[in-house]
Amino acid sequence: MSITRTLGEFIIEHQNHFPHASGDLSSLLGSIKLAAKIVNREINKAGLVDITGSVGAENVQGEEQQKLDLYANDKFKAALEARGQVCGIASEEEDEAVSFNKELNKNAKYVVLMDPLDGSSNIDVNVSVGTIFSIYHRVSPIGSAPTAEDFLQPGHKQVAAGYIIYGSSTMLVYTTGKGVHGFTYDPSIGVFCLSHEKMMIPATGSIYSINEGNYIRFPTGIKKYIKYCQEDAPEDNRPYTSRYIGSLVADYHRNLLKGGVYLYPSTQRHPDGKLRLLYECNPIAFLMEQSGGKATDGYQRILDIKPTELHQRVPFVVGSTIMVEKVESFLQQYPD
């Protein structure tokens, strides 16, 4: 039986790729790995214990919180605070940024932004869900409490980003700006093993991922692109295949491996889109660019957008470069 490298071994081997390497980033990723194992264990219990369903409250975006949303948020927050590499976090499930006040954390170099459990409403129907994380160097003075400016940095300032997908197998995929690497969890020995090194998305594909139930509310350019996918795409790929799970991590992961485009455009009801720039779009865009693809809001590069608030939303188009550019061309041709 061949022996592969574990996530821990791989991170240590590649520390020299990171210009500020001192072991802190490796330890931080180790904290994320630990929390992922704990959340994975609870997700695998879904249906056996009372951990699915709503808690009867809403988050700051007005969305109903699921029990596992709060569980995952608490576990990742605790793991990130414990080792002292993070001075604070921002989360989709927190109204405001959270400052870690231990002396150890005040001297930390990093802040983390996260969606602790993307697609959590799918848990009770056994559909893949995920965790998305984004890591930045703080810009406030070390030794002080983190400030809003630490969290409101454009995506191109990320030093690392990644996601964990909890599905038929559990995978952790991450980048530090030197390619995208995937690790599959082996529950028999409790480690993440390297399974997908230097992941690259095909330049084009035949999958488009969008919630077509909102079709009537889409901009004209998006409607025209959907028609193109169904009727006018290149003959060897026509018609494109529509695949939409409703869990960003799952839809993105499939398209990364097979080639495709994911769209969550503006709608009449949500003119700024629905996905969060800081917790979802920036980390996914960083990963996509590192794997050879493209991510935009339909008009500009996601990683160049300067955030103005923690829970800011933006339209999102991400995937194979040729397909994303085709979406952009339709939006330019049919401005609403």
Which region, left, alpha or beta, applies to residue 254 given φ > 0 means left and ψ of -120 to 50 means alpha?
Answer: alpha
Q: Is residue 31 domain-resident? A: yes
Binding residue per annotation — 115? yes
- Residue 59 belongs to a domain with what CATH number? 3.30.540.10
Which residues of the chain are modeled with pLDDT < 70?
1-3, 17-22, 46-64, 235-238
Strand partners, 196: 182
**Whether residue 144 sits in one domain with residue 55:** yes
Binding residue per annotation — 122? no
Chain segment 129-182, per-residue pLDDT in tens = 999 999 999 999 999 999 999 999 999 999 999 999 998 899 999 999 999 999
pLDDT of residue 81: 95
Phi/psi of residue 6, each to 5°?
-85, 165
pLDDT of residue 18: 62
**Whether residue 179 sits in one domain with residue 48:** yes
Binding residue per annotation — 121? yes
**Whether residue 111 sits in one domain with residue 23:** yes
Binding residue per annotation — 244? yes
Q: What is the CA radius of gyration of the chain?
A: 19
Phi/psi of residue 276, each to 5°?
-85, 130
Binding residue per annotation — 264? yes
**Cβ-Cβ contacts under 8 Å for 227 (sequence gap 6 or more):** none
Binding residue per annotation — 119? yes
Strands 313-314 and 275-276, how do they pair? antiparallel
**Whether residue 119 sits in one domain with residue 33:** yes
pLDDT of residue 126: 78
**Whether residue 169 sits in one domain with residue 216:** no
CA 217, 221, 223, 225 torsion-angle sign: negative
Range of the domain at 212: 207-333
Binding residue per annotation — 280? yes
pLDDT of residue 47: 54
Q: How many domains does one find in the chain?
A: 2
- Residue 281 belongs to a domain with what CATH number? 3.40.190.80
